Amino acid sequence: MAHPSQLGFQDAASPIMEELLHLHDHAMMVVFLISIFVLYIITLMITTSLTHTSTMDAQAVETIWTILPAIILILIALPSLRILYLMDEINDPHLTIKTIGHQWYWSYEYTDYEGLMFDAYMVQTQELPEGTPRLLETDHHMVVPTDSPTRMLISAEDVLHSWAVPALGIKTDAIPGRLNQTTFTTSHPGLFYGQCSEICGSNHSFMPIVIESSTLNSFETWSNLMLEP
């Protein structure tokens, strides 16, 4: 999860988030090199007398500053398109979970398990166990097995919401009357926090999301406990 005064991204907890971090580093390196080059040219023009002003009107210079930006954009666009297709790829998920946004909580339904459904409300500050994050903890965690592709079906009952978990690289709108889907795979066990990232009302920040990634045996034990009458 994020920490106070943190400047960078959260540690990646899924393969897609790792790819997004690599794309960010790639794009930032390109921007950094362009900024250094532009700063060098500006410094050169300020400190050097222009003795060959006719060069600025040359056809070769115009060709270079037209083609070079196009090449740079392609170098950024191709990795971006690759990740975009990877994020939309849903291939044989092991588990399907449906979540519906309400004011001000999320409800979850495990469609592969008949009767496994629950609501997840934010834990109030005065009821928080020691060591748990304020405004991010819920009374029920969405438990998923580690290294298992999970498909999320996302919708809303009242207004627009957005189901977002930064560590997993997920941000999908929850729209009333429409069913959006996304997929993720947790790469290691742990707790991953998120919030509704849509301005859905005055208390939209009080709709936290907690995903608990555990081993398959622990997940089966949890599901059996939840299904007990």
Structural domain for 37, as ranges? 15-88
Q: Residue 125 falls within a domain, yes or no?
A: yes
CA-nearest of 153, 146, 140 to 112 is 153
Q: Is the peptide bond before 163 cis (omega within 30 degrees of 0)?
A: no
| Gap between the Cα atoms of 187 and 176, Å rounded | 31
CATH number at residue 57: 1.10.287.90
Are residue 84 and residue 103 in the same domain, yes or no?
no
| Gap between the Cα atoms of 187 and 168, Å rounded | 9
Q: Residue 34 falls within a domain, yes or no?
A: yes
Q: Residue 10 falls within a domain, yes or no?
A: no
Mean pLDDT of the chain: 89
Give pLDDT, residue 145: 95
Tens digit of pLDDT for each residue in 66-117? 899 999 999 999 999 999 998 888 788 999 999 999 988 999 999 999 889 9
Are residue 102 and residue 213 in the same domain, yes or no?
yes
Given 59, 88, 117, which residue is the final one in a domain? 88
To which H or E segment does residue 163 belong?
strand 161-165
Q: Residue 151 falls within a domain, yes or no?
A: yes
pLDDT tens for the 229 residues of the chain, in order: 777 788 888 889 999 999 999 999 999 999 999 999 999 988 888 887 766 666 656 677 778 888 999 999 999 999 999 999 988 887 889 999 999 999 889 999 999 998 899 999 999 988 998 888 888 999 999 999 999 999 999 999 989 999 999 999 999 999 999 999 999 999 999 999 999 988 887 777 789 999 999 999 999 999 999 887 6
Count of domains forming the chain: 2
| Gap between the Cα atoms of 98 and 179, Å rounded | 9
Are residue 207 and residue 128 in the same domain, yes or no?
yes
Are residue 21 and residue 134 in the same domain, yes or no?
no
Q: Residue 143 falls within a domain, yes or no?
A: yes
CA-nearest of 30, 219, 212 to 137 is 212
| Gap between the Cα atoms of 154 and 109, Å rounded | 11
Given 88, 106, 125, which residue is the final one in a domain? 88
Given 67, 88, 109, which residue is the final one in a domain? 88
Are residue 57 and residue 159 in the same domain, yes or no?
no
Q: Residue 2 falls within a domain, yes or no?
A: no
Asked whether 90 and 151 are in contact (CB, 8 A), the reply is: yes
Are residue 67 and residue 100 in the same domain, yes or no?
no
The pTM score is 0.84
